[in-house]
């Protein structure tokens, strides 16, 4: 009989609605499992009960530590993590960056609360457990099972606020990208990395405020293929001159970034000012990667490592 640890963190999948229709994560892991126990030995590990919008770096570190602790059991086949959808892509990616075990870790959650008459909670949980115990997925790393689809954590993001198939991958569903070697583990709590938005007329006020607050790195959520304006470029130059890395991504949902535009504020100008480009990762996961790299005191080539890990290459489909 397969053996799976189910780590609970809260989220919609563990929520019920009160008389006013307000959802709160109050359902214990043992109650969540219900009929999914058939054919699988389940060990429930209740870690926290949070809306994932309230997750901090310290919470994400805690989830990663719990996953690693559970995998110290040699008889365990997989770990399933129940997580809110708002920040699932960040926590799953953090775990994936440091995952050095062939056994899969599968994240899942729900769009509809546990007490909804047509909740997707049980179906997603059953799919996650099935993926975790599928021998073909050994070595696939950290996955997200959601709405009948299976995604690699790297490059996946929530793309719809209500659809039951809420997540999208950089590459088509089923094309699981090649895994890279895991990073050395260093907690990211205490490593401040902020996200700054570019928009028409944006100035450097947000960037200066983040620096004053102690940011060790910044992610610029740029326009188009990764563009801004001359005022932002000048602020980026000041950051990089002071040893504060700035990563450029884009607010556009699909397509890679490209440092091809000049004109004083384009991607080419940002690179000339010392910025790094996140080829495929959007702002949430780019922030996690930058924080993980900054947290490693032994890392000497942050720019090369970031570039390598922000490019998501497809791999043969796993059925």
Give the pLDDT score at 178: 66
Query: Residue 197 to residues 168, 207, 232, 237: CA-CA distances in angstroms?
Result: 22, 9, 10, 17
Active site residue 113: no
User: What does pLDDT average to in each consecutive run of 10 residues of the chain (319 residues)?
Assistant: 95 89 85 73 94 97 98 98 97 97 97 92 95 94 95 94 94 63 96 98 98 98 98 98 98 93 95 97 98 96 96 65
What pLDDT score does 177 carry?
Answer: 54
Pairing state between β 157-158 and 3-10 = unpaired
Question: Strand, helix or coil at 2?
Answer: coil
At residue 18, the pLDDT reads 87
Annotated catalytic residue within 8, 12, 191, 249: 12
- Secondary structure class of 230 (helix, strand, coil): helix
What pLDDT score was predicted for residue 317? 55
Q: Which of 276, 274, 271, 272 is nearest to 287 (CA)?
A: 276
By C-alpha distance, which of 306, 317, 296 is closest to 275?
306
Give the DSSP per-residue string, 3-27. Answer: EEEEEEEESGGGEEE-TTS-EEE--
Report the candidate in 24, 37, 106 with the shortest Cα–Cα distance to residue 70: 106
Cα separation of 152 and 104, whole Å? 11
In sequence order, which residues have a C-beta less than 8 Å from that of residue 81 and are 6 or more positions away? 6, 7, 9, 63, 67, 91, 92, 95, 105, 106, 107, 108
Task: State residue 173's pLDDT score.
Answer: 47
Query: How many angstroms separate the Cα of 292 from the Cα of each of 6, 29, 93, 102?
Result: 25, 29, 10, 21
Q: What is the pLDDT of residue 273?
A: 98
Residue 116 to residues 17, 35, 184, 261: CA-CA distances in angstroms?
A: 8, 17, 41, 48
**Res 31: pLDDT:** 83
């Amino acid at each position: 009989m397969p053996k799976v640890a189910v780590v609970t963190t809260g989220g919609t999948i563990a929520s019920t609605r009160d008389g006013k229709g307000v959802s709160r994560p109050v359902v214990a892991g043992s109650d969540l499992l219900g009929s999914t126990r058939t054919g699988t030995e389940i060990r429930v590990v209740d870690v926290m009960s949070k809306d994932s919008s309230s997750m901090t770096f310290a919470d994400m570190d805690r989830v990663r530590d719990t996953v690693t602790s559970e995998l110290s059991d040699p008889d365990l086949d997989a770990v399933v993590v129940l997580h809110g959808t708002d920040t699932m892509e960040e926590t799953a990616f953090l775990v994936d960056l440091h995952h050095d075990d062939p056994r899969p870790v599968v994240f899942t959650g729900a769009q509809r609360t546990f007490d909804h008459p047509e909740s997707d909670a049980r179906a997603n949980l059953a799919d996650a457990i099935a993926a975790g115990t599928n021998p073909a997925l050994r070595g696939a790393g950290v996955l997200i099972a959601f709405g009948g689809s299976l995604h690699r954590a790297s490059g996946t993001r929530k793309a719809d606020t209500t659809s039951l198939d809420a997540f999208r991958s950089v590459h088509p569903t089923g094309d699981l990208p090649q895994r890279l070697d895991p990073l050395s583990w260093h907690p990211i709590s205490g490593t401040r990395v902020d996200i700054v938005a570019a928009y028409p007329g944006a100035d450097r006020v947000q960037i200066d405020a983040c620096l004053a607050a102690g940011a060790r790195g910044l992610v610029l959520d740029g326009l188009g293929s990764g563009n801004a304006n001359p005022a932002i470029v000048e602020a980026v130059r000041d950051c990089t001159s002071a040893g504060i890395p700035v990563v450029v991504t884009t607010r556009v949902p699909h397509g890679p970034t490209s440092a091809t535009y000049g004109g004083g504020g384009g991607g080419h100008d940002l690179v000339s000012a010392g910025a790094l480009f996140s080829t495929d990762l959007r702002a949430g996961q780019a922030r996690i990667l930058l924080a993980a790299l900054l947290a490693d005191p032994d890392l000497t080539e942050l720019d090369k490592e970031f570039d390598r890990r922000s490019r998501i290459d497809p791999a043969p489909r796993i059925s």
